[in-house]
C-alpha cells in the first residue's frame, strides 16, 4: 500500500490535496517557549492545522516538508519558518538535528501515514498523525511500536474529542439525561469529484469508510464508551464513471455493543450526505448535526424524571469558527509533550478504529489488511 516519493510528486500536479504553557526544558531564569511543529504535507487539512496553531498561544510552526519547494517557501514566509527548516520528503530525516522542531503533524494521504510517522519517530520527534491512522491494522501496530521504541508520543488527530459540543453530548449521555441508550443512527458522506486521491485504493486505502465513515464509527464509540462486538455490512458501487475503479462507492453497516446498544451507519462518495449522529434513549434523544470544522449544532429532547414530567428541549450551535478545533487539538498535544502525559487520542485509539474498519470490510466481503 506504500507510495513512492516520485508517485506522490505526480499527485501534486493534479492540484492541492485535499496564555503560554511553561516549557519543561526552559532555562532556570523561567523563560518560556512554544512547542514547534513541522508540518509534513501541505494540502488542505494542513492549512487548517497551521492556522489553528498560529491562532493559539502554545505552539508554532517551525518546519515544513513538501515536494514543492516554491509552495513551501511561500508558506514558510507566512509562518516565519526559516528556509533552512524546509525539507523534501527525501531529506526530512535531517530534522533530527533541528532543535526548533519538537513534533510533526502528518497531513499526507492515508497510505503514507505509517512511513512518515515511523521516520519522524526515528528522528526523535513526537507525532500528531491525521486520521485514519493508516490503511491496515498491521501498520497501526508498527506505528505504535516505533513511537514507543523512540520514546516519543503518538496522537491521532481526532479533533472532535476536544470540541465542546461533542463533549457536551457525551456528558449528557454519561449523566443519564437520555436514560438507557438503545440505538444510534449516523451518516457522513459527499459526492466526490473525479481525480481525488481519497477515492483510490493506493492512496486512500479504501472508499468513504476510511475517509468520512470513520467519523460515524468513532462517534458511536465515544458516545457509548464501548467497543462494538458484532458487525454486519454491505457495500455497493452505483456510478460507473471511473471514480470508483479501485474502491467501493457506498458502505452501510450495523454494530452491536456489549450493553446491547445498536448502531446503524452509512457513508458514501456518491451523494450529499450531511454528517450527523442521533442517539435514542429511554428518556429522550439528542442529535448533533455535522462532523465539520465549525457550527456543530446540538439538539435534544428528554424527560429525565419520567413520563409525567415536562420535557426539556435544547437547541444550540457552537459559534467558534474554524480553525478553533485545530487550535484545541494542537494545544492538547503540546500540553501532553510538555507535561509528559498520554494524549486523549493516542495511537491505540487509531488502532481500534482500524480493527473495526477491518471487521466492517470483512462483513461486507471486502479484503482489508
Catalytic residues: 131, 215
| Alpha-carbon separation of residue 118 from 22, 36, 228, 314 (angstroms) | 28, 19, 29, 45
- Cβ atoms of 187 and 213 within 8 Å: the answer is no
- All three cell numbers of 307, joined, read 413520563
Q: Is 201 helix (H, G, I), strand (E, B) or coil?
A: helix
Residue with cell 487548517: 48
- Cβ atoms of 44 and 12 within 8 Å: the answer is no
Specify the DSSP class assigned to residue 367.
-
- Cβ atoms of 22 and 29 within 8 Å: the answer is no
Q: Is 135 helix (H, G, I), strand (E, B) or coil?
A: coil
Hey, which residues does 187 pair with through a beta bridge?
A: 266, 276
* H/E segment holding residue 40: strand 35-40
Nearest to 364 by CA among 207, 237, 234, 229: 234
Which residues lie below 8 Å from residue 193, measured CB to CB, with a gap of 6+? none
Specify the DSSP class assigned to residue 212.
I
Q: Is 269 helix (H, G, I), strand (E, B) or coil?
A: coil
CA 334 remoteness from chain centre: 17
- All three cell numbers of 268, joined, read 458514501
CA separation for the pair 114, 205 (Å, rounded): 12
Could you count the other beta carbons within 10 Å of the beta carbon of residue 122? 15
* H/E segment holding residue 149: helix 137-150
Amino acid at each position: 500500500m506504500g507510495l513512492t516519493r516520485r508517485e506522490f510528486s505526480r499527485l501534486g500536479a493534479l492540484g492541492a490535496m485535499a496564555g503560554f504553557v511553561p516549557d519543561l526544558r526552559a532555562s532556570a531564569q523561567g523563560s518560556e517557549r512554544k512547542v514547534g511543529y513541522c508540518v509534513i504535507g501541505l494540502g488542505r487539512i494542513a492549512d487548517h492545522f497551521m492556522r489553528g496553531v498560529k491562532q493559539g498561544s502554545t505552539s508554532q510552526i517551525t518546519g515544513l516538508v513538501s515536494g514543492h519547494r516554491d509552495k513551501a517557501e511561500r508558506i514558510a514566509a507566512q509562518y516565519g519558518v526559516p528556509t533552512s527548516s524546509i525539507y523534501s520528503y527525501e531529506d526530512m530525516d535531517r530534522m533530527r538535528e533541528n532543535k526548533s522542531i519538537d513534533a510533526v503533524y502528518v497531513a499526507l494521504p492515508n497510505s503514507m501515514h505509517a512511513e512518515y510517522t515511523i521516520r519522524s519517530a526515528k528522528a526523535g520527534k513526537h507525532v500528531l498523525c491525521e486520521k485514519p491512522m493508516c490503511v491496515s491494522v498491521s501498520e497501526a501496530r508498527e506505528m505504535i511500536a516505533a513511537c514507543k521504541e523512540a520514546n516519543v508520543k503518538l496522537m491521532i488527530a481526532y479533533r472532535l474529542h476536544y470540541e465542546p459540543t461533542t463533549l457536551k453530548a457525551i456528558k449528557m449521555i454519561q449523566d443519564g439525561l437520555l436514560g438507557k441508550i438503545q440505538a444510534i443512527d449516523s451518516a457522513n458522506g459527499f459526492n466526490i469529484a473525479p481525480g481525488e486521491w481519497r477515492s483510490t485504493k493506493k492512496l486512500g486505502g479504501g472508499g468513504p469508510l476510511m475517509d468520512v465513515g470513520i467519523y460515524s464509527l468513532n462517534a458511536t464509540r465515544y458516545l457509548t464508551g464501548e467497543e462494538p462486538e458484532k458487525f454486519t455490512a454491505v457495500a455497493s458501487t452505483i456510478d460507473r464513471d471511473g471514480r470508483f475503479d479501485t474502491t467501493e462507492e457506498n458502505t452501510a453497516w450495523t454494530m452491536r455493543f456489549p450493553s446491547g446498544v445498536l448502531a446503524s451507519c452509512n457513508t458514501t462518495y456518491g451523494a450529499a450526505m450531511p454528517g450527523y449522529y442521533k442517539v435514542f434513549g429511554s428518556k429522550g434523544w439528542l442529535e448533533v448535526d455535522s462532523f465539520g470544522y465549525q457550527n456543530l449544532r446540538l439538539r435534544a429532547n428528554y424527560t429525565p424524571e419520567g413520563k409525567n414530567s415536562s420535557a426539556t428541549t435544547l437547541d444550540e450551535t457552537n459559534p467558534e469558527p474554524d480553525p478553533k478545533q485545530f487550535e484545541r487539538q494542537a494545544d492538547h498535544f503540546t500540553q501532553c509533550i510538555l507535561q509528559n502525559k498520554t494524549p486523549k487520542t493516542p495511537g491505540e485509539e487509531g488502532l481500534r478504529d482500524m480493527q473495526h474498519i477491518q471487521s466492517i470490510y470483512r462483513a461486507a466481503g471486502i479484503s482489508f489488511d
